[in-house]
């Protein structure tokens, strides 16, 4: 059996695992990343687009954000469309000067993998059947299969950064954690299209036919979404049907048109909320989607993952370098304060902008009234902008 040793064994090579590995390195702490998928697969997974100011700055500060800094699109505002009428919210003005960065998660992941490998630090791709052992003891281990052999990593701490379907959370006995779930009865059909964005800023559209979102990745790539039923088969939607529906929901008219282009990817994402408490079991710490999921409407998932690993890296630094356990003891509580706030914000944005199948006329009016209040009240816009651009980090 192949044997390896490190301080922290990180399971999962998504944003949480990659950023944690670099924060630890800067604190002089050694880590190994074990990733189930291939490098090509991980780099091709299309997901988030919006980074809070603090999340983008974290990537830049740790040296992994050179391309982000050069290629991101910095936005000062977002547009909310109500049955085709577009209204801008000035995020910068209402958040005390903060902007958001629009940059693809798969680009960030590709940049960070290249950075780590160029520094000679290990990522083990295609590590199959990861099993975590002795996580309550002083020397936990992770075993995995690769190239027909069993390998074992012995470490002091394990960071479960392996997403919602990972193995880390499942290692914790059921009676040691509490899970909170909420499933929404609809999904998003997402497309990536080779066409210039039709708007300088994101458009979140509430429409009686369902929610739509216009986002982007670059001057030549647009990312758009439609609310669809959960059981949708994306192949049942022709490209033309998708553009026609986006036209209606985003309110295309003689004054504003949606640019159409070649659709190079179609995907379906269910909307759900999930939190596990606490985010620790012995020397195993969960971070990112392994511990919580939010519906993408508030653009919070990757941002939360980054806030988690900042707190985890700080706790590990205190313990390993200064023998101070306080950061690790408080890790779960620190993260959960931000997580529940993001849960509330994401739930609110989702509820406010989507059509709900069981929604009656009364609820429709309440929803409309909430949005009208947002668009007409400076104090409501301040609350929105503060949440959307990201609250300050506790750690």
Residues that bind ligand PHB (CB under 6 A): 48-50, 202, 215, 223, 296-297, 299
- Is-catalytic flag, 75? yes
Asked if 168 contacts 132 with a C-beta cutoff of 8 angstroms, the reply is yes
Residue 28 to residue 133: CA distance in whole angstroms: 25
195 binds, among ligand PHB, ligand RFL, none (CB under 5 to 8 A by kind): none
Residue 14 has what DSSP assignment? S
Query: Can 266 be counted among the known catalytic residues?
Result: no
Residue with tokens 């993260």: 335
Residue 305 binds which of ligand RFL, ligand PHB, none (CB < 5-8 A, kind-dependent): ligand RFL
Confirm whether 380 is a catalytic residue: no
Q: Which of 151, 300, 354, 381 does the annotation list as catalytic?
A: 300
We find the least distance from the C-beta atom of residue 296 to ligand PHB, in angstroms, to be: 4
Q: Compute the least distance from the CB of residue 106 to ligand PHB, in Å.
A: 10
- CA 52 to CA 99: how far, in whole Å? 7
Q: Minimal CA–CA distance to 82: which of 387, 375, 392?
A: 375
Using CB under 6 A, which of 269, 371, 374, 375 touches ligand RFL? 269
Residue 191 contacts residue 164 (beta carbons within 8 Å)? no
29-37, 321-329, 340-348, 354-362 -> range binding ligand RFL (CB under 6 A): 29-37
Give the shortest CB-365-to-ligand RFL separation in angstroms.
29
344 phi and psi angles, rounded to 5 deg:
-65, -45
Specify the residue, 49 or 251, whose C-beta has the smaller distance to ligand RFL. Answer: 49
Smallest gap, in angstroms, from Cβ of residue 41 to ligand PHB? 19
Partner in contact with 130, chosen from ligand RFL, ligand PHB, none, beta carbon below 5 to 8 Å by kind:
ligand RFL
Q: Measured from the CB of residue 272, what is the shortest distance to ligand RFL in angstroms?
A: 9
Contact predicate 34/183, CB 8 Å: no
The DSSP secondary-structure symbol of 292 reads E
Nearer to ligand PHB, 92 or 106 (CB): 106
Which of 242, 194, 244 minimizes the C-alpha distance to 216? 194
Among the listed ranges 28-36, 145-153, 238-246, 340-348, the one in contact with ligand RFL (CB under 6 A) is 28-36
Q: Is 21 in the site for ligand RFL (CB under 6 A)?
A: no
Whether 229 is catalytic is no
Query: Mind spelling out the 3-state secondary structure of 250-275?
Result: HCCCCCCCCCCCEEEEEEEEEEEEEE
User: Under DSSP, is residue 89 helix (H, G, I), strand (E, B) or coil?
Assistant: strand
Q: Which is nearer to ligand PHB, 12 or 49 (CB)?
A: 49
Q: How many Å apart are CA 152 and CA 2, to the nearest integer?
A: 6
104 counts as binding ligand RFL under rule CB under 6 A: no
- Tell me the CA distances in angstroms from 37 to 12, 32, 124, 297, one per residue in order: 9, 15, 9, 27
- Angstrom CA distances, 359 to 204, 217, 274, 340, stand at 20, 33, 23, 25
The answer to whether residues 141 and 115 touch, using CB atoms and an 8 Å cutoff, is: no
From CA 368, how far away is CA 374, in angstroms rounded?
A: 10
- Binding mask 107-146 toward ligand RFL (x if CB under 6 A, else -) reads --------------------x--x----------------
- 288 interacts with ligand RFL by CB under 6 A: yes
Strands 178-194 and 262-277: antiparallel
Least separation in angstroms between CB 314 and ligand PHB: 28
204 catalytically annotated: yes
Which long-range contacts does 232-236 make (Cβ < 8 Å, 24+ apart)? 232/187, 232/189, 232/268, 234/189, 234/266, 234/267, 234/268, 235/266
Of residues 148-187, which lie at the interface with ligand RFL (CB under 6 A)?
161-163, 165-167
Q: Residue 151 or 300: which CB sits closer to ligand PHB?
A: 300
Q: Which of 15, 140, 197, 296 is catalytic?
A: 296
Q: Which residues bind ligand RFL (CB under 6 A)?
A: 11-17, 34-37, 42, 47-50, 105, 127, 130, 161-163, 165-167, 188, 190, 269, 288-289, 296, 299-303, 305
Residues with catalytic function:
75, 204, 296, 300, 388
């Amino acid at each position: 059996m192949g044997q390896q040793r490190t301080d922290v064994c990180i399971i999962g090579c998504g944003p949480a695992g990659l950023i944690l590995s670099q924060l630890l390195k800067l604190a002089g702490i050694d880590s190994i990343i074990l990733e189930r998928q291939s490098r090509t697969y991980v780099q091709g997974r299309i997901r988030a687009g919006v980074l809070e100011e603090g999340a983008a700055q974290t990537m830049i500060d740790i040296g992994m954000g050179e391309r982000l800094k050069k290629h991101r699109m910095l936005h000062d505002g977002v547009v909310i469309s109500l049955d085709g009428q577009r209204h801008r919210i000035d995020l910068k003005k209402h958040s005390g000067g903060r902007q958001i960065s629009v940059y693809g998660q798969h680009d960030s992941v590709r940049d960070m993998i290249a950075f780590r490998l160029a520094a000679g630090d290990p990522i083990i791709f295609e590590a199959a059947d990861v099993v975590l052992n002795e996580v309550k003891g002083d020397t936990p281990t992770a075993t995995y299969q690769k190239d027909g052999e069993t390998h074992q990593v012995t470490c002091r701490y394990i960071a479960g950064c392996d997403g919602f379907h990972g193995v880390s959370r499942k290692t914790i006995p059921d009676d040691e954690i509490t899970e909170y779930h909420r499933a929404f009865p609809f999904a998003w059909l997402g497309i990536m299209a080779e066409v210039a964005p039709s708007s300088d800023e994101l458009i979140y559209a509430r429409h009686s036919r369902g929610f739509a979102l216009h986002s982007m990745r670059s001057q030549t790539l647009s990312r758009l979404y439609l609310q669809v039923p959960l059981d949708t088969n994306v192949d049942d939607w022709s490209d033309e049907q998708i553009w026609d529906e986006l036209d209606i929901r985003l309110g295309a008219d003689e004054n504003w048109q949606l640019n159409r282009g070649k659709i190079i990817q179609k995907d379906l994402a269910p909307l759900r909320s999930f939190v596990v408490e606490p985010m620790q079991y012995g020397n195993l710490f969960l971070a990112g989607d392994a511990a919580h999921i939010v519906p993408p409407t508030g653009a919070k998932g990757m941002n939360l993952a980054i806030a988690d690993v900042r707190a985890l890296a700080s706790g590990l630094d205190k313990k390993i370098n200064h023998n101070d356990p306080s950061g690790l003891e408080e890790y779960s509580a620190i993260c959960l304060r931000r997580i529940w706030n993001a849960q509330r914000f994401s739930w609110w944005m989702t509820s406010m902008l989507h059509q709900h199948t069981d929604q009656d006329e009364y609820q429709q009016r309440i929803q409309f009234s909430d949005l009208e209040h947002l668009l007409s009240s400076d104090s409501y816009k301040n609350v929105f902008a503060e949440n959307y651009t990201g609250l300050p980090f506790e750690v």
